[in-house]
Amino acid sequence: MALDRWIALILLGFCLIYGYAAWFTMDVGLAPFMKRNPIWPSTFPKILSVLGIITSLIILLAVEKGEQKVSDIDYRRLHEYKLGQAILLLCLMVVYAMCLRPVGFIFSTSTFLIFGSIILGERKWYFVVPIALIATLFVWYLVQEVLGIYMRPFPGWLGG
């Protein structure tokens, strides 16, 4: 079995467990007034689990390949792929997740976007920095002001 099908099988198992948790365990402790709402806290996880299961099954059953011959990933030639970039990006995601609360959303997200684009190969700083700042401020505004969900914009010592 090809590497993409193994990954799809692992993803299918994860989505089944996630779906079980979303469908049967997340809504047990809801308050009575929340049970009358059209959207529950488990609605998005339910949608994600169903989409993940469908996508995994499409890959496992090779529906997407059709008649074309798609070259498989050769695990013996993994050193030829850009694993360094992938590992660096994963490490950057972990650092971003750990810095999000103490450093604040605006600084950590814009720094993540800037360094992430540098890792992926973008070298035009005059494009990267303004786009990262505008995107970060736009997302913060949407979440904070439109959705009404508080996100600490700055570190605590700056009054965030």
**Domain boundaries, given as residue ranges, for the chain:** 3-67, 83-158
Give the pLDDT score at 35.
Answer: 74
Q: Please tell me what DSSP assigns to residue 12.
A: H
| Interaxial angle between packed helices 83-103 and 105-119, expressed in degrees from 0 to 180 and rounded to the nearest 10 | 170
Range with the poorest average pLDDT among 20-34, 54-68, 119-133: 54-68
Judge contact between 155 and 103, C-beta under 8 A.
Answer: yes
Name which residue leads in pLDDT, 133 or 152.
133
Question: pLDDT-based confidence at 15, cuts 50/70/90?
Answer: very high
Given a cut of 90, whether residue 116 has pLDDT beyond it is yes
Give the pLDDT score at 29.
Answer: 76
Question: pLDDT-based confidence at 160, cuts 50/70/90?
Answer: low
Q: Residue 117's closest CA among 144, 102, 136, 140? A: 136
**Prediction pTM value:** 0.56
Give the pLDDT score at 5.
Answer: 83
Q: Please tell me what DSSP assigns to residue 23.
A: I
Instruction: Give mean pLDDT, residues 44-58.
Output: 92
Helix (H, G, I), strand (E, B) or coil at 47: helix
Given a cut of 90, whether residue 38 has pLDDT beyond it is no
